[in-house]
Structure 1
Amino acid sequence: MSKKNNPVERLLHEKPYILLDGALATELERNGSNLDDPLWSARVLVEEPEQIHRVHADYFKIGADCAITSSYQASIDGFKSRGIETDEALELIQQTVHLAQQARQETGGKARHALIAGSIGPYGAYLSDGSEYVGHYGVDDARLEAFHRPRLEALIAAGADLLAFETIPSLQEAKVLFRLLEEFPEQSAWLAFSLRDATHISEGTTLVECLEALGEHPQLAAIGANCFPASIATAFITGLKQLTDVPIIVYPNSGEHYDPVSKTWSGETACTAFEDIAPEWYAAGARLIGGCCRTTPEQIERIQQNVTII
């Protein structure tokens, strides 16, 4: 795939950085949706799709350059556990793209060349046991391929501008995803790992090893991390920048601590610090910047205001 087919590269020719959206699921909760379900935000996709459209529109209205679809935890296996058959499950996954596209069109985002990134969450998110923050699934490549392939096919068929491989905890899963992506040579994806610390992904593999394995992949649109503490973002970006010229993506959490077993948040948010240190991320080399869990449209807007000062 040439760079002309990489939507990240194209948009970065127009502006110094790409402003991502913020939390979807926790924003849905803030708006009154119930996500107490193994399907997480995919439950709202089934029962209240208009709420997902509303959140996407809120982010586009404040100037987000990219919406990430609500398909993070949407899978054929997950929907089947709720009695939803394969054909309907695929339609629901495609609907995540259509909802974001509609919001983009209605808010003027398309005129700004805003992107729709089709979210592919890790296998551990389907397990719903917190293993997306550990990565030790105990399954082989064939199982991961069978799980992920229909998700990729559905999101691409629906017209996602690129894919977002996000919260990926293991190099094994990342390699499987890019091997599947090669079946769609005109499509690109960003790769956002979950982190153990500023130099290791969740399973313990070093960033150096990850870049050696995937850093030169022609379909890699951007590389970085999401769903991690904002306090280590600058150190992470600084180290990663020394290893690659691929655009760096970061979208950390608000600052609270998440317990994947109890599925609860604790501690205080770091919203003020989050928006204040975002310019550091740009200065360190990040070119796709946004927020993950517990971040809001208001906060993303303030990040945009602060980073624009540079």
Structure 2
Amino acid sequence: MNKSLNNILSNKNIMIVDGSMSTVLENLGADLNNELWTAKVLAEQPELVKKVHVNYFKAGADCGITCSYQASIPGLIKNGYSQAEAEELIERSVKIFLEARDEWWEEEGKSLGRSYPICLASVGPYGAYLADGSEYTGDYDINDEGLYDFHRRRMEILYKAGADILMIETQPSLSEALIEADIAEELGADYAISFSCADGRHTSKGELISECARALSKNHQHLCMLGVNCTKPEYVTSLIAELKKGTDLPIVVYPNSGDVYDPTTKTWSASKDEKDFGTYAYEYMKAGASAVGGCCTTVQSHIEKVVKARDKFIDNGMPVAMHN
């Protein structure tokens, strides 16, 4: 297991993941109505990205996910950046996180006795580049060689920039995840894989997540976490149980707030679920999750609730999974 991750899990029992980048950027006044989404803010208003990271540390996050989900080389080039500029922006996503982490650590984190936050470098699926909703289906018109070429250079840049773990997230299918896993293994990079899911048992592509976990847990020595994100919160407890059927690795979960996304209109509608996000987080911990946070439409207040859920979980003496 990654040494930094193991330290947090050993000391804190549950690692707190941060929340949405996009929603908080919009709350800070950023305009995300474009193909590059958060990557445009990374290019034009990097100080806002840095502020988001710091705010999540203040909320209690033990780790954070870089602003690189939508920052692909083809996507940036398509929108007018050169190859060199695209690569610099991807590298910038990690550098901004590291700067935010070190400044917060020196200002308050160290004196508060907090964990030194882990940098999780976001690696989004090919469908995120297409920006057509296919990131939630995995139905692409591209072969495995094309997927390899799409992901390889970006993952190399993120790793060499100083990320602790490559966070291969919002994966709709096992096939794409396996290609990215192979790249991470070639790089010798520690990595985690998180799937988007359609229900309590299946990925967005329709595969059993227990089988995905079983397949990935074999012959992938640098894989340090498996999990789900960008998924309805009511599905996650079941998905944790399914993941545990196929892996002994730590399980990371960071669902959406509960609001419902329409990929056609690219808009969110309010959830009708009355269960509090902190209540969900507590249930995930009881179910065996080792890392919990939030994805789309979650903000600092959601992460504060996750922190309180962890405190309650530990205070109640709940059993904690052992980590190798």
Kept in 1, the 8 Å contact 2:211–2:246? The answer is no
Counting aligned pairs with the same residue, the percent is 44
Instruction: Specify which of 52, 57, 61 is matched with residue 54 of structure 2.
Output: 57
Q: CA deviation at 1:223?
A: 0.4
Choose from 195, 198, 222 the match for 1:219: 222
| Counterpart residue number, 1:31 | 28
TM-score using structure 1 length: 0.95
Q: What aligned pairs does 1:62-101 form with structure 2 within 5 A after superposition?
A: 62-101=59-98
- TM-score (structure 2 length as normaliser): 0.91
Offset at 1:8?
A: 2.2
- Offset at residue 269 of structure 1 (A): 6.7
Correspondence list, 1:246-261, <5 A? 246-261=249-264
8 Å contact 1:254–1:271 — kept in the other structure? no
- Aligned partners of 1:86, 1:306: CA distance in 2, in Å? 44
Distance 1:18 1:262, change over 3 A: same
Q: Which amino acid is 1:20 matched to? A: V
- 2:20 aligned partner, one-letter code: A
SS at the partner of 1:137? coil
How far does residue 209 in structure 1 lie from its aligned partner after superposition? Answer: 2.2
Match of 2:292 in 1: 289
The separation in 1 between residues aligned to 2:163 and 2:287, in whole angstroms, is 29
Considering only aligned residues, what root-mean-square deviation do their CA atoms show, in Å?
A: 1.5
Q: What is residue 194 of structure 2 aligned with on the other side?
A: 192
What count of residue pairs does the alignment treat as equivalent?
Answer: 306
**What does residue 206 of structure 2 align with?**
204
Q: Which residue of 2 aligns with 1:298?
A: 301
Tell me: CA distance 1:173–1:103, structure 2 relative to 1, closer, same or farther (3 Å).
Answer: same
* Aligned AA (1:127): L
Question: 1:274, CA displacement in angstroms?
Answer: 1.3
Please list the CA deviations of residues 179-228 of structure 1 after superposition, one character each: whole Å capped at 9, or x if unmatched.
1112112x211100010111111111112321232123211111010000
Letter of the 1:16 counterpart:
N
What letter corresponds to residue 227 of structure 2 in structure 1?
G
Separation in structure 1 between the aligned mates of residue 250 and residue 156 of structure 2, nearest angstrom: 25
Q: Does 1:121 align with 2:124?
A: yes
Quote the Cα distance in structure 2 between the aligned partners of 1:82 and 1:270. Answer: 38
1:254 touches 1:270 (CA, 8 Å); kept in 2? no
Distance 2:240 2:213 in 1: 13
Deviation at 1:268, TM superposition (A): 3.1
Give the Cα–Cα distance (whole angstroms) in 2 for the partners of residues 273 and 226 of structure 1: 18
- 1:148–1:177: 8 Å Cα contact kept in structure 2? yes
Cα distance between partner residues in 2 of 1:273 and 1:63: 18
Spell out, residue by residue over 1:290-310, the C-alpha distance to the aligned partner (whole angstroms, 9 max, x if none).
000010112201210122111
- In structure 2, what is the Cα distance between the partners aligned to 1:182 and 1:254? 32
Contact residue 6 and residue 188 of structure 1 kept, 8 A: no
Check whether the contact 2:213–2:226 (CA below 8 A) recurs between aligned residues: no
Tell me how far 1:10 sits from its aligned partner: 3.3
- 1:46 alignment partner AA: A
- State the shift of 1:272 in Å: 5.5
1:193 maps to a residue whose letter is F
Residue by residue over 1:100-133, the C-alpha shift from the partner in whole angstroms, topping out at 9 and shown as x without a partner, is 1111111115772210100000000000000010
What amino acid maps onto 2:208 in structure 1?
A: T
The 1:61/1:152 distance shift into structure 2, 3 A limit, reads same
Q: What 5-or-longer segments of structure 2 have no aligned partner? A: 314-324
1:11 aligns with 2:8: yes
Instruction: Name the stretch that deviates more: 261-270 or 144-153.
Output: 261-270
The yes-or-no answer on 1:174 pairing with 2:177 is: yes
Partner of 2:155: 152
Amino acid aligned to 1:277: Y
Structure 2 contact 14–291 (Cα < 8 Å) conserved: yes
Write the distance in 2 (CA, Å) between the matches of 1:272 and 1:40.
30
The letter of the residue matching 1:192 is: S
Instruction: Summarize the Cα distance change of 1:171–1:122 in structure 2 as closer, same or farther, 3 Å threshold.
Output: same
**Structure 1 residues 28 and 6: alpha-carbon distance in aligned structure 2, compared to 1, 3 A threshold:** same
Question: Aligned-pair distance for 1:74?
Answer: 0.3
Match of 2:19 among 15, 19, 22: 22
Which residue of 1 is the match for residue 322 of structure 2?
none
After superposing the two structures, state which structure 1 stretch, 108-117 or 204-213, moved more: 108-117
> 210-219 vs 227-236, which deviates more?
210-219
SS in 2 for 1:222: strand
Q: Which residue of 1 aligns with 2:146?
A: 143
